[in-house]
Amino acid sequence: MEDNRHGTEGKHSGNKFAWRNKIRDVAEIKLSHITRVHPCFNTAIHPHKIGRVHLPVAPECNIQCNFCVRSFNKTEFRPGVASSLLSPREALFMLQKAIQICPEIAVAGIAGPGDPLATGHALGTFTLVHQHHPHLIKCLSTNGLKLKEKAKRLADLNVKTVTVSIHAVNPRIAVKIYSHVRINGKLLYGIEASNHLIQAQLSGIEEVVKRGLVVKVNTVLVPGINQKHIETVARTVHGVGASIINIIPLIPQHKLSHVPPPTCEQLKRARERVERIMPVFRHCQRCRADAVGILGGDDFTKRIFKELGKTPPIYAGNFSHG
């Protein structure tokens, strides 16, 4: 099943949401001074010029992706990894150090290691960032489950860019990618969980776009599961107001450890197909939740953690906010 016969595409695409696209276009123009310099929100920028810091403050996740094993360690190059969790105050210190060491840093992002909207830590951190470094672009990455609920707060905090990870918009496909979703302490499984998550993600995008934020969607390409569904994902998220999409190759682990990652050719073809629908971001480094520096350049996480008195990571490696 690769199309959207049982999914949400029809409901969320087409002319019905043409007005939403107009709002998105206005937001894009209004925020073009931001997206022009944001290393992950435009297709043209040279990714090696602008820096970002990821503040690893989000302790928990409210869903379970089948390719994600969250952990705190210093050595792995894979999703869900940070060397240590920081409090909002420690994150502010990390940010200050990061700016001193790497003045090219223009973006303060929160991308994990759990979901930044599952608890209040990320919004508390953004409050401090906003008070002390109002000139920095605040960037949030989320699975979208609580996006609609937190949209006003994000807008009030002057967060301008949001990434929502959406790997399928058809619950019958999504069910192969997500194990469960937790809502108000209750676990949902199967189609019910996928349905709930997809609806939350799409309505969350609509809500933040309505409030003038610019949205990127991150989609993990999982061969044999969502490979032929990628264009439907792009059409649907573009229909509800997302501006740009990032197709990330699967890193096989956890319940999807048996699935081979997409080949370069498969990834290239997926990006080309999606590019006919909406702009594609191609410079993703699958950063860790505690990455510091310029995309693809030196990473300063280890040095900063040492100064924080935290166990420094051995490798300041990669982490994808899948």
Residues that bind ligand SF4 in the complex, under the rule CB under 6 A: 61, 63-65, 68, 70, 79-80, 112, 114-115, 143, 165, 322
Coil, helix or strand at residue 211? coil
CB of 104 to ligand CLF, least distance (A): 13
Residues constituting the chain: 322
Pairwise CA distance, residues 133 & 209, whole Å: 24
Residue 79: which of ligand CLF, ligand SF4, none does it interact with, CB under 5 to 8 A by kind?
ligand SF4
> Which partner, ligand SF4, ligand CLF, none, binds residue 114 by CB below 5 to 8 Å per kind?
ligand SF4
Output 173 or 289, the one with its CB closest to ligand CLF: 289
In contact, 160 and 107? CB cutoff 8 Å: no
Nearer to ligand SF4, 170 or 320 (CB): 320
CB of 98 to ligand SF4, least distance (A): 22
Least distance between ligand SF4 and beta carbon 76 (Å):
14
Q: Which does 61 bind (CB under 5 to 8 A by kind): ligand CLF, ligand SF4, none?
A: ligand SF4
Closer CB to ligand SF4, 244 or 289, in the complex? 289
Where do contacts with ligand CLF occur on this chain (CB under 6 A)?
Answer: 40, 52, 54, 107, 109, 111, 139, 141, 163, 246, 284-287, 295, 320-321
Tokens of 313: 């990571």
> By the 8 A CB rule, do 313 and 290 touch?
yes
Among ligand SF4, ligand CLF, none, what binds residue 40 when CB lies within 5 to 8 Å by partner kind? ligand CLF
Which entry of ligand SF4, ligand CLF, none binds 111, CB below 5 to 8 A by partner kind? ligand CLF
Instruction: Please return the burial class of 121, using the count of CB atoms within 10 Å of its CB with bins 0-12, 13-18 and 19+.
Output: buried
Token pair for 296: 């693809």
Q: Is the dihedral of CA 123, 244, 144, 64 positive or negative?
A: negative
- Which residues, including other chains, have CB under 8 Å from residue 166's CB and lie 6 or more apart? 144, 198, 201, 217, 218, 219, 233, 237
**What distance in Å separates the CA atoms of residue 218 and residue 306, rounded to the nearest whole number?**
31
Output 112 or 171, the one with its CB closest to ligand CLF. Answer: 112
**Minimum CB distance to ligand CLF, residue 139 (Å):** 3
Distance of closest approach, residue 80 Cβ to ligand CLF, in angstroms: 12
Encoded amino acid at 78, one letter: R
Smaller CB separation from ligand SF4, 61 or 122? 61
Task: From the list ligand CLF, ligand SF4, none, pick the one residue 56 interacts with, judged by a Cβ distance below 5 to 8 Å according to partner type.
Answer: none
We find the least distance from the C-beta atom of residue 125 to ligand CLF, in angstroms, to be 13
Least CB distance to ligand SF4 at residue 255 (A): 11
- Which of ligand CLF, ligand SF4, none interacts with 139 (beta carbon under 5 to 8 A by kind)? ligand CLF
Summarize the chain as % helix, strand, coil (round to 5).
Answer: 35, 20, 45
**List of E strands, the chain:** 51-54, 63-65, 71-72, 81-82, 105-110, 137-142, 161-165, 178-183, 186-189, 214-221, 244-249, 292-294
107 binds, among ligand SF4, ligand CLF, none (CB under 5 to 8 A by kind): ligand CLF
User: Residue 58 Cβ, how far from ligand SF4 at the closest point, in Å?
Assistant: 8
CB of 117 or CB of 151, closer to ligand SF4: 117
Task: Give helix 147-156 / helix 121-132 axis angle, nearest 10°.
Answer: 20
Burial (CB count within 10 angstroms: exposed 0-12, middle 13-18, buried 19+), residue 132:
exposed
